[in-house]
């Protein structure tokens, strides 16, 4: 194979594999099923929108008119939850967004080993309360909004505790 084909294959593999979400560290069956369902819903919308834009582009060329791409509202966002602590973290993400009338878009039962990263698909826009703890610490809470530019949630034990001021 030529050098150009190899480079194109490597770039294609990086693009397709780099954007994947998986359920590697998810332990809750409902959350795993919901992640798969959101991913298939998102892929279906993207493929449908792509075909629609191609057909409108061809029609615009045939009729010699201006092409305006069809863009639907963004409904999902990919984020990564990263464990920056030395211990495993147990993470639960709770929101008030309902998914297909069968429950909330909560993501429960994430067990992250030290240094691990879990990619997730979450509704956009949404607000999540992220509860996390290690086996030896108390539960902590961080509030996250998916409509911000934030793509990574970096968690470590003790990050929400405020040290008391020492007075002399």
Alpha carbons 51 and 48: distance in angstroms, whole number: 5
Q: What is the mean pLDDT of residues 9-27?
A: 69
Which of 5-14, 108-117, 120-129 shows the lowest mean pLDDT across its residues? 5-14
Q: Is the pLDDT of residue 20 over 50?
A: yes
In this prediction, residue 11 carries a pLDDT of 65
- Counted residue by residue, the chain has a size of 168
Greater model confidence, 9 or 168 = 9
**DSSP secondary structure code for residue 41 in this structure:** H
Mean pLDDT comparison of 29-38, 61-70, 94-103, 137-146, highest-scoring range: 137-146
Lowest mean pLDDT among 6-10, 66-70, 86-90: 6-10
What is the pLDDT at residue 26?
92
On the question of pLDDT at 151 being above 60, the answer is: yes
Average pLDDT of 107-129? 93
- Class of the 3-27+74-155 domain? mainly beta
Contact 150, 81 (CB under 8 A): no
CA atoms of 125 and 123, how far apart (whole Å): 6
Q: Which helix (H) or strand (E) covers residue 47, if one does?
A: helix 29-62
Q: Distance between CA 132 and CA 158 in Å, rounded?
A: 10
pTM over 0.75? The answer is: no
Which pLDDT score is estimated for 164? 42
Q: How much is the pLDDT for 163?
A: 55
């Amino acid at each position: 194979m030529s050098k150009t084909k190899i480079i194109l294959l490597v770039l294609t593999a990086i693009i397709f594999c780099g954007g994947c979400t998986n359920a590697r560290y998810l332990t809750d069956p409902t959350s795993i099923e919901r992640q798969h369902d959101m991913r298939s819903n998102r892929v279906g919308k993207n493929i449908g929108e792509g075909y629609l834009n191609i057909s409108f582009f061809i029609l615009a060329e045939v009729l010699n008119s201006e092409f305006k791409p069809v863009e639907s509202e963004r409904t999902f966002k990919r984020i990564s939850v990263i464990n920056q602590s030395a211990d495993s973290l147990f993470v639960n993400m709770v929101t008030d967004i309902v998914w297909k009338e069968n429950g909330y878009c909560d993501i429960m039962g994430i067990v992250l080993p030290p240094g691990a990263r879990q990619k997730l698909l979450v509704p956009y826009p949404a607000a999540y309360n992220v509860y996390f703890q290690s086996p030896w610490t108390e539960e902590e809470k961080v509030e996250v909004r998916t409509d911000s530019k934030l793509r990574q949630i970096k968690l470590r034990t003790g990050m929400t505790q405020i040290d008391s001021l020492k007075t002399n």
